Structure 1
Amino acid sequence: MEDRNMLLKSLLLVITGLVLHQDPVNSVTVTIRENVVVGKAGASVTLPCSYSTSVGTNFNVQWKFAPGNTLPSNGNQIYYYSNGGSYKPGSQADRLTIVHNPPTSGDASIQLSNIRASDNGSYACEVNNPPDFSGTGSGIVQLTVLTPPGSPSCQMSGSPIAGSDVTLQCSSSGGNPPPIYSWIFVGSKTPLLPGMMENQRTGALLLTNLSQSISGSYRCTATNELGQATCDLSISVTSSSNSGAIAGAVIGVLLALLLIAAIVIYFLRYRKKQRKVPRPEYRGSEIREDATSPVLHEDRRGPQTDSILHDTRDRDENIVI
């Protein structure tokens, strides 16, 4: 029994010695104290990243950027540190700085200056210290850049004829957070009149049962916490009779133009045909087919004709050959 106890104690001492003589394994742990960072356009922001590990010769830090809704795993490298050297291959290089240089004291945070809408997206901080691969070596920060709304555009859908309905549409490019839209009837004591229905989210203003009284100028304002922008739109309501007269006048003008065009085309073709007709050529020495024969029938000769022939014979006889 005592021998068995001694054997067990010996095995326990051997196992304990083996465990105590193993090299300690260091893990890499990355901590992101703010997962979402929000900043106004033109300002500077810090993207935090802290870590814990025993920095070795193979220690390196890198940041990747995935714009918009791109997956962080598909991001592009924007910062890299290794063996005492820092590299900034991304398009944000001139606006990116490392907070602690070199980043070997447990802080790998970076700072972006003059932020803009194109900086929106996910930023991944990765710390590696081979051969220590255990632990969590990466973290993600989401950056949201707040921007004012761009200049909106105002458009009208439908024909402003009395009794009908039209929709005024206002839309703005950019703006984060998305802007809220509001319409006013310029010159009116109240912002909107009865029969006007507004949608502040989409920017649509519905005008129902149009009348002459709502002719005028309308202004749309796009607003968020960083600013606002406006656009104007004027409408003129016409009665159905006026619209018919206008349509008739337009049709009459179009018909008149078509008639003038037809006359011009006919005249040009007629002149072209006239130039193509060849003129007959007549030479004095040639006998025309329709010319009257010089020899007249006996019964058509008169006294005057006989006298002319007699004189001709006399002149021929006097010619000396």
Structure 2
Amino acid sequence: MATSGRWMLWTLCVCFTAWENDALRINMRESFVEVVRGDYVILPCSFFTSTRLSRLNIIWTMAPFSSPDTPMQVIVYDHGQAVEDPSLTGRVAFRGIPSSADIILNDTRVSDGGIYHCMVNNPPETADPGIGELVLSVLAPPSLPACQWDGDIDTGGSVRLSCSVAEGIPTPEIHWDKVNPEEISLPINMEGDLSGSVQIVNVSSQTSGLYRCSASNVLGTEHCYVNLSIYATPESSSGILQAVLLTLSMSLVLLALLVLVLWLQHTGQNGKWRERKGEDERCYNEIRYTPSLMKRSFV
């Protein structure tokens, strides 16, 4: 009796194992796949079944990273025919059908990145369809960043330099540097994943120069530039004007003193000349009246 019970239990185990071996199984050889934008990529999906493939059905779907709850159909194999989504016509195809559910995706785009599901069903198997999942990441170099500035470029003002990039996978790193007349790395404030800015306060003539924004990832680096010129404020101009006026005033004072000295010197010379002339006239009068006196003495 005990022997008979063990025999029945062994038989059930063998049958259950055989049923599991006969059930459809999916094998996703990769769970994460990367490709550079523009290249082709193979998305692997292997399956195992003991049933004939006369009614094989394969469906590939993709859910974008931006909206994982709204998957779209990529390609379908049913009744011996493959039908791709119209938006992917000419870019997607099965590879190795019907023995493999692998697909190939050509001319990849950033929008192709997302979560892919491979679902295989092979009636008359009664097991649930096998479903496999993988993630496709389409790498892209940074796009050309856009640079701009705003603020007060008068001395003592504040200027903000901003830089943004439209795309890049992995997410580009953004850096700001002053490259001319001297190279200086600047601290940056990130404003989201794809933009960053630099705030420069109390600007002066030394702030003027060429500034560069760099967006970099593993596929490359792109740059944009801002040429910043700082102008003197009206207050500074007024100070310079005051200094010029003070210099002119001092010059005028010195000139007036010089004129006064020359005038005094000239006045002194005129006085001496008049004094000498008076003496000459007195001498002349004395000589003129002398003969008459002599005449009177002779008479």
- Decide: shared fold, TM above 0.5: yes
Q: Where does 1:76-115 land on structure 2 (aligned, <5 Å)?
A: 76-100=72-96, 103-105=97-99, 107-115=100-108
Q: Where does 1:123-142 land on structure 2 (aligned, <5 Å)?
A: 123-134=116-127, 137-142=130-135
Whether contact under 8 Å (1:59, 1:82) holds in the other structure is: yes
Q: Using the alignment, how far apart are the partners of 2:200 and 2:137 within structure 1?
A: 37
**Which residue of structure 1 aligns with residue 188 of structure 2?**
198
Q: Which amino acid aligns with 1:83?
A: H
Higher helix share: 2
**Which residue of structure 2 aligns with residue 174 of structure 1?**
167
Deviations 1:42-97 (A, max 9, x none): 111111101111234322111112223332x6322221112222211341221112
| 4+ long deviations beyond 6 Å | 242-245
Report the alpha carbon displacement of residue 119 of structure 1 after superposing the two structures with TM: 0.7
Report the alpha carbon displacement of residue 198 of structure 1 after superposing the two structures with TM: 3.0
Q: Where does 1:153-232 land on structure 2 (aligned, <5 Å)?
A: 153-192=146-185, 196-199=186-189, 202-232=195-225
Bigger shift: residues 236-245 or 205-214: 236-245
**Which residue of structure 2 aligns with residue 257 of structure 1?**
none
**Which residue of structure 1 aligns with residue 290 of structure 2?**
none
Whether contact under 8 Å (2:181, 2:210) holds in the other structure is: no
Identity among equivalent pairs (%): 32
Whether contact under 8 Å (2:84, 2:93) holds in the other structure is: no
Could you tell me which runs of 5 or more consecutive residues in structure 2 were left unpaired when the two chains were aligned: 239-299
Deviations 1:222-266 (A, max 9, x none): 111112222121222223316999xxxxxxxxxxxxxxxxxxxxx
Q: How many residues align?
A: 227
Q: Tell me, what secondary structure is at the counterpart of 1:74?
A: coil
| Gap change, CA 1:203 and 1:178, over 3 Å in 2 | same
The TM-score with structure 1 as length reference comes to 0.62
Whether contact under 8 Å (2:163, 2:197) holds in the other structure is: yes
Q: Using the alignment, how far apart are the partners of 1:214 and 1:165 within structure 2?
A: 11
Deviations 1:192-249 (A, max 9, x none): 4xxx53347752222122101211321212111112222121222223316999xxxx
Q: Using the alignment, how far apart are the partners of 1:142 and 1:75 within structure 2?
A: 13
Q: Using the alignment, how far apart are the partners of 2:206 and 2:135 within structure 1?
A: 51
Q: Using the alignment, how far apart are the partners of 1:154 and 1:112 within structure 2?
A: 35
**Which residue of structure 1 aligns with residue 286 of structure 2?**
none
Q: Which amino acid aligns with 1:62?
A: I
Whether contact under 8 Å (1:76, 1:90) holds in the other structure is: no
Q: Using the alignment, how far apart are the partners of 1:242 and 1:117 within structure 2?
A: 54
Deviations 1:251-298 (A, max 9, x none): xxxxxxxxxxxxxxxxxxxxxxxxxxxxxxxxxxxxxxxxxxxxxxxx
**Which residue of structure 2 aligns with residue 150 of structure 1?**
143
Q: Tell me, what secondary structure is at the counterpart of 1:57?
A: coil
Q: Report the RMSD for the aligned CA atoms in angstroms.
A: 3.1
Whether contact under 8 Å (1:28, 1:133) holds in the other structure is: no
